[in-house]
Chain A
């Protein structure tokens, strides 16, 4: 494809458009605004401003509730306290980078257990697939941070600039005191919201009460200021200025969702079987022989994505249901049944259009696959979670030297044992070695012992313990003897396989 950038012809096109405008009759404010965003060719499509109108109804209420709930969770979580012994942080949810721990209420994860996070992400993806196959893009419409913060920012915008029509008039009008104070107040408020968003984020990574003090006196870590600054900027830009463009151009999910949806997925649908043929309707006119859609455009003006849902399912649609509320308001006023636009499936609408009884199939191979995969991963994670021990052992056998021959002909192998004590108390861990009869254990600073060695491991720490195993000459069979270390305290036990190299391959 060849793209031609032609600034000259664009200018003339603009000129002719504005010149021909008045000749076609009065131009609405909306039309003027749309013209401002006229793409006019080129590589970059200019953004057409969208002025979503406030609607009232069931889905709008659910969205408000979810907005308060999700934002509440986000802002409050870092401030929940959770007693932990000793010097350990008392924050319920904390990603402790310096301490290399992730705390979540009674759970704490070590960096080597990051697969639980991976598992959670896989679960989230599968849940997204499943919900998408069942109900379309519910995540996008109700709980995606982009949607939630955009909703919040539009709320603020409405606070200062009024609803749709007032906002369009303000934007089209000249710059005066009224416009300046409304715009600056809005942006200041936006920035404040953005700043508190970025500000809340950093509390997940440090002790919140300490950090909030340090933050204001300039004593917080540089990462806190940078993270806060970046998130302030992205929130302000993404929720304030880019909004639906994030969903349409930046987010990969709308492109992927097509593979998850099918004719039986419930999604925001214009029931054309009932709505068409559409057209204006005067009071008292008969509804016979025509559709219920009166072409009032309320579904379009309510849409935060700037689309017309009557054109069918579209990439832009986030399935938020605001057009349902907008349409229902009108239907009630017209004394027609609600639900001209509703959560419905393409298959059902098509069936009704053919005059058949619609069928809804929530259980179908696709949803079963997703649900099955979800169950398998969840079960695997649960199993893994119950198998976690508070004691962990890794053994590294010395490779240089592989063995040391002592004066009396006995052989000494060196090992480094990494003993992890995930409990919150110091533990005297017993270290045993099996595989070579008559072997004697030695650790620096302690006498050689035939029985188990005792190594103290501090709470919530890993300790590297050097252990030497000395085997008498008579017990050396073969040059590579399979062996095993076992560590234990209380009822906790962990073991690791290793080898004892007898030096037979390198005789004196």
Chain B
């Protein structure tokens, strides 16, 4: 550029470019902006050298810092284990009762239990643990298996119900209707009998007809008074709690079809201390022994 030219109106220097008499004003980028721009370019080069950057045919440039996001995650997980360290070690060695009685260990177990429960148990038992039709309520004082003590809860979590564990808890409610063990009329009568057991209004004549059937088919598990037996996993028919619904048709349907829900065994999926924490969490929040 031989000579610098300024625009008459604004007094701003032009670039010398001209289109149909219109000249381009030279308004350069601010120096701070350019400075940052060059710094960014320099930084990009530094970044390529330090960090994984360029894709290649069989891999990518690793960078001299040898950084890996995956390794970083693994390290953070290891750190988490380390942070949990002390509490987790104590969970391993202490008994369930000791865990529940020591305030510090109890809060640790409750925290672990709550998060594990939310991730694994809440799907069926609900976030609040109150269950749903077919899934037992864990917050009240009615227990299908065991007496609701810490050890029994721990056992149920570990082996499951009708699960794949060798010692899993098993009880079998026959499908009286589907397997044609009883006629439809007999099932109707039996339904009235069960309703009567729980203290609700029922057809007395039907109850009378059903008494011998109950004595023959049901007593073995549910007992003569319908009290059931938590050791066998036989539900109490008198407590007003119904796993599969409290309406007549719900009760009839269960006699007809005999549904047997499954709870998986968690012994192979959780570490022993996690199961302990979960047992403490469920026991602490349940009305039980």
Q: Which residues of A contact B (CB under 8 A)?
A: 4-9, 398, 400-401, 404-407, 412, 414, 444-446, 455-456, 463-464, 466, 468, 470, 508
8 A Cβ contacts from B69-120 to A? 100-103, 106-107, 110
Asked if A5 and B12 sit within 8 Å, CB to CB, the answer is yes
| Cα–Cα, bound, A147→B218 (Å) | 93
In the A-B complex, list the 3 residue pairs whose CB atoms are closest, starting with the nearest: A400-B128, A444-B284, A445-B100
Asked if B110 and A468 sit within 8 Å, CB to CB, the answer is no
8 A Cβ contacts from B120-154 to A? 126-130, 137, 139-142
B16 within 8 A of A: no
Chain B residues positioned under 8 Å from A444 (CB to CB): 100, 106, 110, 280, 283-285
Asked if A406 and B101 sit within 8 Å, CB to CB, the answer is no
Q: A401-B128, A466-B285, A468-B287 are in contact. List 4 more A-B contacts (CB 8 A).
A: A404-B139, A445-B100, A445-B106, A463-B107
Chain B residues positioned under 8 Å from A4 (CB to CB): 10-12
Residue of B nearest to A457 (CB): B103
B13 within 8 A of A: yes
Residue of B nearest to A416 (CB): B110
Chain B residues positioned under 8 Å from A6 (CB to CB): 6, 11-13
Chain B residues positioned under 8 Å from A398 (CB to CB): 128
| Cα–Cα, bound, A282→B96 (Å) | 101
| Cα–Cα, bound, A405→B246 (Å) | 15
| Cα–Cα, bound, A428→B126 (Å) | 35
Q: Would you mind naming 24 contact pairs between A and B with Cβ atoms under 8 Å apart?
A: A4-B10, A4-B12, A7-B13, A8-B6, A8-B13, A400-B126, A400-B128, A401-B129, A401-B139, A404-B137, A404-B140, A404-B287, A406-B287, A412-B139, A412-B140, A412-B287, A444-B280, A445-B102, A455-B103, A463-B103, A463-B107, A466-B110, A470-B287, A508-B240
Chain B residues positioned under 8 Å from A456 (CB to CB): 103
- The count of chain B contact residues (Cβ–Cβ below 8 Å) is 32
Assess A407 versus B12: contact at CB under 8 Å? Given A8-B4, A444-B283, A466-B285.
no
CB distance from B85 to the nearest CB of A (A): 17
CB distance from B243 to the nearest CB of A (A): 14
Residue of A nearest to B236 (CB): A407
CB distance from B95 to the nearest CB of A (A): 12
Asked if A407 and B128 sit within 8 Å, CB to CB, the answer is no
| Cα–Cα, bound, A8→B14 (Å) | 11
CB distance from B132 to the nearest CB of A (A): 12
Instruction: List the count of A-B residue pairs having beta carbons below 8 Å apart.
Output: 67
B241 within 8 A of A: yes
Chain B residues positioned under 8 Å from A5 (CB to CB): 12, 27
B239 within 8 A of A: yes
| Cα–Cα, bound, A398→B284 (Å) | 14
| Cα–Cα, bound, A446→B284 (Å) | 10
Chain B residues positioned under 8 Å from A463 (CB to CB): 103, 107
Chain B residues positioned under 8 Å from A446 (CB to CB): 101
Assess A407 versus B285: contact at CB under 8 Å? Given A7-B13, A8-B6, A463-B107.
no
Assess A400 versus B127: contact at CB under 8 Å? Given A6-B12, A407-B239, A444-B284.
yes
Residue of B nearest to A402 (CB): B128
| Cα–Cα, bound, A452→B137 (Å) | 29
| Cα–Cα, bound, A325→B278 (Å) | 77
| Cα–Cα, bound, A8→B28 (Å) | 13
Chain B residues positioned under 8 Å from A404 (CB to CB): 130, 137, 139-140, 287
Specify which of B6, B103, B140 is in contact with A405 (CB 8 Å cutoff).
Answer: B140
Over the window 1-27 of chain B, the binary record of Cβ atoms lying under 8 Å from chain A Cβ atoms (1 yes, 0 no) is: 000101000111100000000000001
Chain B residues positioned under 8 Å from A445 (CB to CB): 100-102, 106, 284
Residue of A nearest to B111 (CB): A464
Asked if A407 and B6 sit within 8 Å, CB to CB, the answer is no
| Cα–Cα, bound, A398→B4 (Å) | 79
Chain B residues positioned under 8 Å from A464 (CB to CB): 107
| Cα–Cα, bound, A456→B141 (Å) | 27
Residue of A nearest to B6 (CB): A8
8 A Cβ contacts from B275-289 to A? 280, 283-285, 287
CB distance from B146 to the nearest CB of A (A): 15
Asked if A407 and B142 sit within 8 Å, CB to CB, the answer is yes
Over the window 254-289 of chain B, the binary record of Cβ atoms lying under 8 Å from chain A Cβ atoms (1 yes, 0 no) is: 000000000000000000000000001001110100
